[in-house]
Chain A
Amino acid sequence: MTCWETIGAYAFRSLGFGEKLLPRTDFTLCQQFTLIGSGLIWNVYFGALALMLGFFLSNALALSKASHKPWARKPAEWFIFVFRGSPLFIQFFLAYSALVMLPRGGVDVLGLHLPTSWMTSAWAGALFVLFLNTSAYAAEIFYGALMSVPKGDLEAAEAYGISGWAKFRRIQWPTMLRLAWPAYTNEAIFLFHATTLVFFSGFPAFQQRGDALYYANYFADKTFNPFVPYPIVAFYFILLTGTLIGIFGLVNRRLNRHLPSNTRSKIRLRPQLIR
């Protein structure tokens, strides 16, 4: 099998297309690169979706944590504490254990029949955990940024007669986003790193469709040589991190476009809040 044929057969193996069986003997470097790259699709899927969904929940959480009303503040504080305070590893395990307890056949709510068995598959269950997890981390970042919005800006807004919702939408929120962006970039990077834990500790792999680390593990297990597949995963992740930094840098430029160039906050990659 030439390398092109290998790519054709295995490039989308992680999604269930192409060859049904994984290579069993005579492992080539090309196979390892192709299959591990194919698994990376899942890492991107988990990371991107969790990040997008988490963006909304984290904003809501940050606002409720900043609220003066205890009924809004307390639940947000607890949510953030629990998800930031415990290892993702354990969160995955507990989530999976809880999800398999749902009745197999589905539940009937108000005459509607809701199937539940899809919840235990990684694409749904693990995504859900990652979504909650990243929301908690990002909420803490956004909350911190919300607290550092300069007081002068808010007073200026009020002096111009902008108040209430308009003030929030046009002054507070954009400033918060701008201040939080460098730290949020880090959170995004580490969220993508955390996606490697999905099949490693939490959820079972279905029909040998897994993420980059799953296939690396497969090859390490078959070739008995850990020094080839794991560095390949590392290589892919360095690329992924680079891309991510590029995309977030563009957004950062846009968020800071109104500022004179010497005061723009560059994305300084500090591990602010990661798991």
Chain B
Amino acid sequence: MFSSCADPKTLEGLSWLVCYLTSGKHIDFYWSFLTVLTLLAVTAPVALTFGFGGAMAARSHVAPVRLVGKTYTAMVRGVPDIVFFLFFVIALDQGIEWMKHQVVCPDWTQPIRQGLEFRVCPEAKVPSNSSAQIWHQLYGFALAVFTFAIVFGAFAANVLYGAMNAVPRAQLETAESYGMTPRQVFRRILVPQMWVYALPGLSNLWMILIKATPLLFLLGVKDIVYWARELGSAKTQAYAYPHPDWRLWYFLFLMVCYLLMTRLSEIVLNKLAKRLNHGQATAAGEAMRRTAQ
């Protein structure tokens, strides 16, 4: 980065440290924070959508749909997320390529599975072999987002299912007595009212999502933990900046970052809870009314 860093072996003390902390690898490390934040920002709404779908399916009057919804939440929650991440991404990747293969190479005669090998026609590769590295990375990132969303969607479905059931029955009956159709009741009363009941559960889920990001490296995304591990491990003279095992310091730094992130989220979510509780017929809303008087 700096011209004085051209020959790191001659540097000492503070200037060595400055050069070390601005090496290309460290810049990658700093960028990976953005990767993690992007993942959080993208995954949260997608997972919420999955959760909403799951909760609606679980409440459905059609038995098969209800079964699908309930199985989805029960299955995914019964399995540790890490186990899920270890095989699901490869399966998902192969599934996508298999489908594309069916479309683009209908007259491919060789078997797709040869023993353990999975072989689709070159045109069906996602993304194709010759596309730029950035597409491969984006594709990997999208797979990770999707996997995270499936897992956390199952948790969100549970929270939303509970929240939908928690909306006071009287409110829905009142709406019905005004002549609203079930759809209207759902859209105008149930959904707007359920958020206040869902918020505590959803805010916990957000915290969990933040703390699950170290598992990202399992999905092939180079996240902050990957880089901290890579940068911290002992470096021999083969590297420009040899140093002993510094992983402890890197992980302490990560811990502080995570604590900051969770603290910040707590503050924001508390504010949001206050707004949602405002004027609600719940204990928290009642408490707010009292203090305002």
Residues of A within 8 A of B (CB): 81-82, 84-90, 93-94, 97, 148, 189, 193-194, 196-197, 200, 213, 216, 220, 224-227, 230-231, 233-234, 237-238, 241-242, 268-275
The reply to whether B83 and A237 form a contact with Cβ atoms under 8 Å apart is: yes
Can you give 30 A-B contacts (C-beta < 8 A)? A81-B259, A81-B263, A85-B258, A85-B259, A85-B263, A86-B258, A86-B262, A87-B211, A87-B213, A89-B214, A196-B82, A196-B83, A213-B82, A216-B83, A220-B86, A226-B86, A226-B90, A230-B83, A233-B79, A233-B80, A234-B78, A234-B83, A234-B84, A237-B79, A238-B75, A241-B78, A242-B78, A270-B159, A271-B208, A274-B204
Q: Which residue of B lies closest to A189 (CB)?
A: B77
Please choose the segment from B60-68, B128-136, B249-257, B272-280 that sits at the chain A interface, where 4 or more of its residues have CB less than 8 A away.
B249-257
The reply to whether A94 and B252 form a contact with Cβ atoms under 8 Å apart is: yes
Q: How far is the CA of A272 from the CA of B207 in the complex (A)?
A: 11
A-side contacts of B87, CB under 8 Å? 226-227, 230-231
Which B207-260 residues have C-beta < 8 A from chain A? 207-208, 211-215, 225, 247-248, 251-252, 254-255, 258-259
Number of chain B residues close to chain A: CB under 8 A = 41
Please pick, from B116, B211, B225, B251, the residue contacting A94 in the complex, using a CB distance under 8 A: B251
Closest Cβ of chain A to B195, distance in Å, is 15
Residues of B within 8 A of A (CB): 75, 77-84, 86-87, 90-91, 116, 155, 158-159, 162, 200-201, 204-205, 207-208, 211-215, 225, 247-248, 251-252, 254-255, 258-259, 262-263, 283
Total CB contacts across the A-B interface at under 8 A: 108
Q: How far is the CA of A148 from the CA of B200 in the complex (A)?
A: 14
B-side contacts of A216, CB under 8 Å? 83, 86
B-side contacts of A274, CB under 8 Å? 204, 208
The reply to whether B204 and A86 form a contact with Cβ atoms under 8 Å apart is: no
B-side contacts of A224, CB under 8 Å? 116
Q: How far is the CA of A82 from the CA of B263 in the complex (A)?
A: 10
The reply to whether B201 and A271 form a contact with Cβ atoms under 8 Å apart is: yes
Q: How far is the CA of A241 from the CA of B77 in the complex (A)?
A: 9
A-side contacts of B211, CB under 8 Å? 86-88, 275
The reply to whether B248 and A94 form a contact with Cβ atoms under 8 Å apart is: yes
Q: Which residue of A lies closest to B205 (CB)?
A: A271
The reply to whether B247 and A97 form a contact with Cβ atoms under 8 Å apart is: yes
Q: How far is the CA of A197 from the CA of B218 in the complex (A)?
A: 12
The reply to whether A275 and B208 form a contact with Cβ atoms under 8 Å apart is: yes
Q: How far is the CA of A238 from the CA of B84 in the complex (A)?
A: 12
B-side contacts of A85, CB under 8 Å? 258-259, 262-263
The reply to whether A93 and B201 form a contact with Cβ atoms under 8 Å apart is: no
Q: How far is the CA of A231 from the CA of B258 in the complex (A)?
A: 31
Which 3 residue pairs are nearest across A and B when measured between Cβ atoms?
Answer: A193-B80, A238-B78, A85-B262
